[in-house]
Amino acid sequence: MQGDPEVIEFLNEQLTGELTAINQYFLHAKMQEHLGWTKLAEQTRRESFDEMKHAETLTDRILLLDGLPNYQRLFHVRVGQTVTEMFQADRQVEVEAIDRLRRGIEVMRSKGDITSANIFEDILDDEEQHIDYLDTQLGLIEKLGEALYIAQQIEQPDS
């Protein structure tokens, strides 16, 4: 099925964002695990896998529209050194994704590609939930301080 080139371009741009997020979240999860923040690492890894599911959905849609998914490109991967920096970096990825998704939805609807717009809306819902999670965590860090927040992210071995 031949897709509109502008729609395919938006799908590929979002795919680039998802591939970037996968890498950034996975690296943050591994860093968190290395630092002993096992609970946080598990959550961050789950976020990486969610982004992988988005990438898969976008890839399938691009192929259905006779486009070529671009796996060659990434946006800038931001690496935080502290838990606050990690959350801020991850939040920035989500803010950029939300802007891109909203613009894409408008274009897709104007071109009559409701299915692609619906895919973007589903991803948008996930990204908004992720921003809410990140904002909550950043708020907790602000209230508790980083040290106390991190203390809550450590899993104690069973005795």
Contact 10, 107 (CB under 8 A): yes
Question: What's the pTM?
Answer: 0.93
pLDDT for position 158 = 66
Q: Is the pLDDT of residue 159 over 70?
A: no
The answer to whether 9 is annotated as binding is no
The answer to whether 28 is annotated as binding is no
How many domains are there within the chain? 1
Q: How confident is the model at residue 83 (pLDDT cuts 50, 70, 90)?
A: very high
Percent over 90 (pLDDT), the chain: 94
Residue 30's domain comprises 5-151
The answer to whether 51 is annotated as binding is yes
Would you give the distance in Å from CA 52 to the centre of its chain? 9
159 domain residue, yes or no: no
97 domain residue, yes or no: yes
158 domain residue, yes or no: no
pLDDT for position 95 = 98
67 domain residue, yes or no: yes
The answer to whether 142 is annotated as binding is no
CATH number, residue 78: 1.20.1260.10
26 domain residue, yes or no: yes
56 domain residue, yes or no: yes
The answer to whether 94 is annotated as binding is yes
Q: Choose among 107, 84, 103, 134: nearest CA to 5.
A: 107
The answer to whether 127 is annotated as binding is yes
